A and B are shown apart, each in its own frame.
Chain A
Amino acid sequence: QVQLVESGGGVVQPGRSLRLSCAASGFTFTRYAMHWVRQAPGKGLDWVAIIWHDGSQKLYGGSMKGRFTISRDDSANMLYLQMNSLRVEDTAVYYCSRETGGNAFDVWGQGTVVTVAS
């Protein structure tokens, strides 16, 4: 079945880095653009980044620009999010999600928790 599984979350101090991973299975990974979306505790959804199906384009949400980098390894069906200069306000559940092709998010992982605290 179609599945996304995130990993790599944890507790990190402000200013440090963390790399999240998302393993995709059950579909042809190379046909789809992929997103990262986050959700702070008790808050709504916040779009983080997208990478095109062929990796040719990457876009980032406002506060993530210059600090976060999205990438993919199509040979391993993996999506990544490199997060640098982490801030307390980056604390959230981070989800990877598949792009439908209609500007929507049709498959979601269970999420991985990132806590930024000193």
Chain B
Amino acid sequence: QAGLTQPPSVSKGLNQTATLTCTGNSNNVANEGASWLQQHQGHPPKLLSYRTNDRPSGISERFSASRSGNTASLTITGLQAEDEADYYCSAWDSSLNSWVFGGGSKLTVL
């Protein structure tokens, strides 16, 4: 089934800013918003943001999300070594009547 599109990998330097993108369509990201998850190797995912730009308690302000049309974005400022992980976007798809995920972006902090 159709999913969301994310770049497979993103590399940025320590203390720099990384922006990860997630492209969907009018049935999911554009109308329903997107959420973002972080997953370190060997661990379950962790919610970073939902309803496009709400942050769960305990999530650093360095993580911020936004949306423009069919594309959702996650911006991570002041990159730290511990930010190196896989990042997934997800959204409710009103056409498929299901949740859809992006393929994930592997963030490397140089």
| A→B interface (CB under 8 Å) | 35, 44-47, 50, 59-62, 95, 100, 102-106, 108-111
Contacts and interface: CB of A to CB of B under 8 A. Distances in A.
B72 to A, nearest CB: 12
B63 interface: no
What are the 10 A-B residue pairs with the smallest beta carbon separation, nearest first? Answer: A104-B50, A104-B35, A108-B44, A103-B92, A47-B99, A102-B51, A62-B1, A44-B104, A45-B101, A102-B50
How many chain B residues sit at the interface, stated as a range, is 20 to 34
Contacts, number: 67
A102 B46 contact: no
B83 interface: no
A106 to B, nearest CB: 5
Nearest to B49: A104
A100 B45 contact: no
B47 A104 contact: yes
B98 A105 contact: no
Contacts of B69: none
B47 A44 contact: no
Given A45-B45, A61-B98, A62-B1, A105 B35 contact: yes
A45 B1 contact: no
Given A47-B90, A108-B46, A109-B44, 9 more contacts: A44-B101, A47-B98, A47-B101, A61-B98, A62-B96, A62-B98, A100-B50, A103-B91, A104-B47
Interface in B3-52: 32-33, 35, 37, 44-47, 50-51
B48 to A, nearest CB: 10
A104 B101 CA distance: 11
Contacts of A103: 32-33, 35, 50-51, 90-92, 99
Contacts of A35: 99
25 contacts: A44-B88, A44-B102, A44-B104, A45-B90, A45-B104, A47-B90, A47-B101, A50-B99, A59-B98, A61-B98, A62-B1, A62-B98, A95-B45, A100-B35, A100-B47, A102-B35, A102-B50, A103-B51, A105-B45, A105-B47, A105-B90, A106-B50, A106-B56, A108-B44, A109-B44
